Amino acid sequence: MSPETIVIAGAGLAGAKAAEALRTEGFGGRIVLVGDEPVRPYERPPLSKGYLRGESGFDAAAVHDADFYGAHDIELRTSTEVTALHPADSEVELAGGERVRYERLLLSTGAAPRRLPIEGADLPGVLTLRNVDDSDAIRTAVTGGGPVVVIGAGWIGAEVAASSRQLGADVTMVDLVDVPLERVLGPEVGAVYRDLHRDHGVTLRLGVGIESFGGAGRVEEVRLGDGSVLPAAAVVVGVGVAPRIDLAAEAGLEIDNGVRTDAYLGTSAPQIYAAGDVANAWHPFHETWIRLEHWSAALNQGPVAAKNMLGITTPYDKVPYFFSDQYELGMEYRGWAPTYEQVVFRGDPASGEFIAFWLGDGIVRAAMNANVWDQGDNLERLLRARAAPDPSALADPDTDLADLAGAAA
């Protein structure tokens, strides 16, 4: 009898950590890890930060050492595209027609940058950021001289703008929002990032849209919706990503803002699981489907999917988490607050050291620690306990967060 085979379609962080977990949990069968990039799996956060600035190399971003996959008998197929899923036959099809049979399949196909459907979007010098090659191209463009225009004031746009300024470029950031990161953090905390970028010399053109890109042979200018024109030696478009659902959709899996899964990361098709950016997973704590485009979901969902593929029943219920480093401001955000009624600050945001709490129905729905590194566990406890403390206690630095969390629990 041939050994069981588990195929992992997508060789990013989620896929690599799933493969690692399969071996850690004792799976002795065949593992085929398929990725369309020419390099071994790596983490993406450095691409907009240290790697982009040239402060760290690829090996620092790689998930595992180069010899890990061979040492653990994991078939890592780089530069290889999965072109179709055949659930009825329990097979995946690769470019060139090869079919690989599986007993279980994990979809960790990630996401792709959204592009602007406007004139000039295909001009050379209009760049997006998703992979190592993209980051290399942005570094070359940013350090080549001339003004840089960043389209989008979300996480990618804000981090690329910060790194570009740190590399010495003249940077303009453009978005329809009133403050950077408004869609995630709201206007109160977004204002902190507005001031941060402004203080570091970024020109902010907020509340205005993009009309087109122009140039003779490559991008030279950005035309805005108000009629103004920005000179541009390079443009970085960071307007979000779309989950790579084509394979799953064509195979008939349930799709809803990604590949929909249950709390165990199982999809609507038997023996097929999903993890990372592509997975819209039922979250048992928040009692809704959540698709997270963040490092923590890829890091943690891959191993949970691996356990469930092996029959080790494990729900994915980690509190959503992400982090960002821009200039001297580092932060961690925990929780889920798509809507909220109040933001409470502990500490002065202008000082660069503070905690922000997002409250809905009086309950702490999310919390962000900025340059405060000793309260992560207490913030987690507050969220898990669905704490509803007096806002004045949250704001008071003399009130121990551990006591608030303990009282709520």
The helix (H) or strand (E) run that includes residue 378 is helix 376-384
CB under 8 Å to 167, separation ≥6 — which residues? 53, 54, 139, 142, 143
Strand-pair category, 363-370 with 91-94: unpaired
Mean pLDDT of 37-42: 98
Token pair listed for 300: 């943690």
Mean pLDDT of 33-62: 97
200 within 8 A of 161, measured Cβ to Cβ: no
Measured between its terminal Cα atoms, the distance across the chain in Å is: 52
* CA–CA gap between residue 136 and residue 86 (Å, rounded): 36
pLDDT for the residue numbered 406: 81
Extract the runs of DSSP E, i.e. beta strands, from 257-380: 259-261, 272-274, 279-283, 288-290, 321-326, 329-335, 342-346, 354-360, 363-370
* CA–CA gap between residue 358 and residue 132 (Å, rounded): 34
pLDDT for the residue numbered 2: 64
Q: What is the pLDDT of residues 144-183, one digit of tens each?
A: 999 999 999 999 999 999 999 999 999 999 999 999 999 9
Q: With 80 as the cut, is the pLDDT of residue 408 above it? A: no
Q: What is the pLDDT of residues 227-275, one digit of tens each?
A: 999 999 999 999 999 999 999 999 999 999 999 999 999 999 999 999 9
CB atoms under 10 Å from CB of 367, counted, come to 27
181 within 8 A of 190, measured Cβ to Cβ: yes
Mean pLDDT (the chain, rounded): 96
pLDDT for the residue numbered 66: 95
Q: What is the pLDDT of residues 273-284, one digit of tens each?
A: 999 999 999 999
* CA–CA gap between residue 21 and residue 184 (Å, rounded): 31
Token pair listed for 54: 């040239």
Q: With 90 as the cut, is the pLDDT of residue 407 above it? A: no
Mean pLDDT of 31-57: 97
Q: Tell me the β-bridge partners of 151.
A: 174, 237
The secondary structure of 122-134 as a DSSP string is TSTTEE--SSHHH
pLDDT for the residue numbered 255: 98
> Chain-centre distance of CA 72, in angstroms?
27
Q: In terms of Cα–Cα distance, which of 72, 70, 10 is closest to 41?
A: 10
What percent of the chain is modeled with pLDDT above 70? 99
Q: With 90 as the cut, is the pLDDT of residue 127 above it? A: yes
Instruction: Using the structure block, give the residue that is written with the tokens 């290399």.
Output: 136
